[in-house]
Amino acid sequence: MVNICLIGTGRAGMIHGRNMVKKIKYAELSALCDPMEENLQNAQAELAVKYTYQDYQEALANDEIDAVIIVTPTAYHKEIAIAAAKAKKHILCEKPLAMDEQECKEIISEAQKNNVKLQVGFMRRFDVSFQEAKKVIDSGEIGDVVLVKSLTHGPSKPKEWMYDISLSSGPIGEVNSHDLDTLRWFANDEVASIYAIGGNFRSPEMGGQYPDYYDTVSMNLKFKNGILGAIDGAQYVQYGYDARAEILGTNGSILIGDQGKNNLFVANKNHQITHSTMNSWTYLFREAYVKEDQAFVDCIMEDTMPLVTGYDGLMAVKLVHTGLTSLLNNKIEYL
C-alpha cells in the first residue's frame, strides 16, 4: 500500500481525498493537512483518516507517509514540493506546478535528486475521450495532424485576487493551462510562437482598478514541426462549464466533447427543445480524476514514469507566461 497525505482540503483537494478513500487500489489516505482548522475538521469528519496536521512539515516528518498530494494555492507549491522531495515523499502536484519557470526547475531538480515521482495534475490526459483521441492521432487514422484547437470556458465569477493578472495570469493561467498542455500532447512537439489577444467583456466595472484584466482570450500558436494551434478561453460565461477540442488531420478530423451535461433532450408543447449544460469541471472530469490518482499510485508501485511529468508542468507554466506577455505587448512572442 502507498500511504498518502493530502495537503490542502478545499474543493479540488477533496476530489483527490474522496478518490483515495473509496476508489484507488493499493492506496491508503493516511493523513490530511490544512492550515485552516475548520477545513481540516470538515475533511476529517468525512474521510476519517489516521493523522491530521495543520503544519505540512509535521506531516512530512511522519515516516508512515509515502506520498503527498499538493492542492494548495500555487504560491506554496514550491516550498511544499521541495520539502516533500527532501523527505523522500512522492509528489502529485495540482496545476500549475509553480509560480514561474525557475520554481518549476527547482522542484524538478529536487525530485530527481531524491529519486521521487513527480506528477502534475493535468487530468484531461486521463479522460477517456482525450485518451482515445490521442490513440487515433498516433495510429495515423486521420493522417498528419495540421491543426489542434482547444477551448475552456468557466462559469464562475472571478474571485477578487483573480482580477490581478500579476497573481492569476487571467484566463490564460486559470483555465487555458489545460488547453496548452492538451495542444502539446496532441501535437507531440513544442511551441515555436504564440500570439494572444483578449478583452474584458463581463466585468467592465473592474477595469478602473484592474486595467489589464481580461476575461476572454484568443491565442494562435505554431509548433516547431509546423502544426498550427488555436485556443480560446473565458471566465464568468455563466451558461455552464465548457471544455472541447478538435484535431484536424490531412485525412480526417476528431471532435472531443460538447456543451451538454448528458444526452437528454426535452421537447415541450411550446415547440422548444432543451438540453442541460455542463455545470462544473468537477462533474465533467470526475472519472478522469480517478484515473489520474490511480496512475499516480501505479507509477510509485511499478517504478514507472508518470504520464504527466514535471517537465510538462514546467512547459505549461512557460506557455502561460509567454501567452500573457503576448497579450500585454500585443505582438507575437517566440519561444
* Every domain range in the chain assigned CATH 3.40.50.720: 2-116
The count of other CB atoms within 10 Å of the CB of residue 197 is 13
313 pLDDT more than 90: yes
pLDDT at site 228: 98
The count of other CB atoms within 10 Å of the CB of residue 175 is 23
Report helix, strand and coil shares of the chain as percent, to nearest 5: 40, 25, 35
For domain 2-116, the CATH class is alpha beta
Please provide the DSSP assignment of 261-292 as one string: SSS--EE-TTS-EE-PBP--HHHHTHHHHHHH
Contact present, 95 and 289 (Cβ < 8 Å): no
Question: Rounded to whole angstroms, how far apart are CA atoms 17 and 7?
Answer: 10
What digits encode the pLDDT tens for the residues 264-292?
888 989 999 988 888 888 888 999 999 99
Sheet with 118-121, strands from edge to edge, namely 51-53, 27-33, 2-7, 67-70, 90-94, 118-121
pLDDT at site 258: 84
**pLDDT band of 261, cuts 50, 70, 90:** confident
Q: β-strands 216-223, 191-199: how paired?
A: antiparallel
Cα dist. 323→79, 85, 166, 169, 246 in Å? 26, 30, 13, 9, 20
Question: Rounded to whole angstroms, how far apart are CA atoms 50 and 57?
Answer: 17
Closest CA to 146 of 46, 221, 77: 221
Give 251 or 278, the one with higher predicted confidence: 251
What digits encode the pLDDT tens for the residues 202-217?
999 999 999 999 999 9
Which residue type, as a one-letter code, is found at position 97? L
262 pLDDT more than 90: no
For domain 125-285+314-334, the CATH class is alpha beta
Contact present, 215 and 236 (Cβ < 8 Å): yes
Tell me what percent of the residues of the chain surpass a pLDDT of 90. Answer: 92
67 pLDDT more than 90: yes
Mean pLDDT over each residue of the chain, to the nearest integer:
96
The count of other CB atoms within 10 Å of the CB of residue 12 is 18
260 pLDDT more than 90: no
241 pLDDT more than 90: yes
- Write the CB contacts of 208 (distance below 8 Å, at least 6 apart in sequence): none
* Every domain range in the chain assigned CATH 3.30.360.10: 125-285+314-334
Would you state the torsion angle of the CA atoms of residues 217, 218, 220, 221, taken in this order, to the nearest 10 degrees? Answer: 40
What digits encode the pLDDT tens for the residues 13-33?
999 999 999 999 999 999 999
Closest CA to 47 of 60, 71, 29, 59: 29
